[in-house]
């Protein structure tokens, strides 16, 4: 009986260590066809990446998206790209598609399942994301998160930030 109790006690002592040592799950986003993707697929490829988190019914997102389209068009072949993440989710896929079509969005977009971006944001910033849109993140060409902002970003503003950040690194 003592042996069994010692064995159970040893398991109880080790259990928290084993659970803490388990690798964290990657946050899965879905493309518009329902295939899984991870933010890491888009970061750190030698180009700046602007991630914009949007909702189809967000008035500010609808105002901001032409600026992001113009930025992506001007930079995608050279030094920067844009990635959209719709919080409309898989259940709101039709709304997200209508937004993309209406605005003629020229950059890739993924769907959040309601949990993935919250986890991505918490991991990247150490702070919880309360769900406000638009939310913009700017990643360096090496994949380092350099800026985050709730609210719209304009093309000229992004370009100025990239220029200033590039000058600081030199």
pLDDT digit string (tens) for 24-78? 456 999 999 999 999 999 999 999 999 999 999 999 999 999 999 999 999 999 9
> Which residues, in sequence order, are bridge partners of residue 145?
139
- pLDDT greater than 60 at residue 20: no
In this prediction, residue 11 has a pLDDT band, given cuts at 50, 70 and 90, of very low
Across 124-129, average pLDDT: 93
Sign, CA torsion 161/67/40/147: positive
- pLDDT greater than 80 at residue 115: yes
Question: 81 and 109 in contact (C-beta within 8 Å)?
Answer: no
- The domains of the chain, with CATH numbers, are 29-169 (3.40.30.10)
Q: Other CB atoms closer than 10 Å to residue 168's CB: what's the count?
A: 8
Report pTM.
Answer: 0.83
Across 140-168, average pLDDT: 93
Q: How far is 9 from 14, CA to CA, in rounded Å?
A: 9
- pLDDT greater than 50 at residue 15: no
What pLDDT score was predicted for residue 168? Answer: 73
What pLDDT score was predicted for residue 54? Answer: 98
CA Rg, the chain, in Å? 20
φ, ψ (nearest 5 deg) of residue 36: -75, 145
What pLDDT score was predicted for residue 80? Answer: 97
Q: What is the mean pLDDT of the chain?
A: 87
């Amino acid at each position: 009986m003592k042996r069994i109790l010692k064995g159970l006690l040893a398991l109880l002592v080790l259990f928290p260590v084993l659970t803490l040592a388990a690798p964290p799950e990657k946050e899965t986003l879905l493309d518009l066809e329902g295939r899984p993707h991870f933010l890491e697929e888009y970061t750190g490829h030698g180009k700046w990446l602007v991630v914009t988190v949007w909702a189809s019914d967000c008035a500010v997102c609808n105002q901001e998206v032409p600026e992001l389209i113009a930025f992506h068009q001007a930079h995608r072949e050279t030094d920067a790209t844009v990635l959209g993440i719709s919080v409309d989710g898989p259940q709101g896929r039709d709304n997200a598609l209508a937004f993309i079509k209406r605005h003629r969005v020229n950059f890739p977009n993924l769907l959040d399942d309601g949990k993935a971006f919250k986890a991505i944001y918490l991991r990247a910033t150490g702070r919880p994301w309360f769900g406000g849109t638009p939310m913009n993140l700017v990643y360096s060409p090496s994949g380092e998160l350099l800026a985050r902002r709730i609210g719209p970003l304009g093309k000229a503003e992004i370009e100025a930030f990239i220029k200033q950040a590039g000058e600081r690194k030199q």
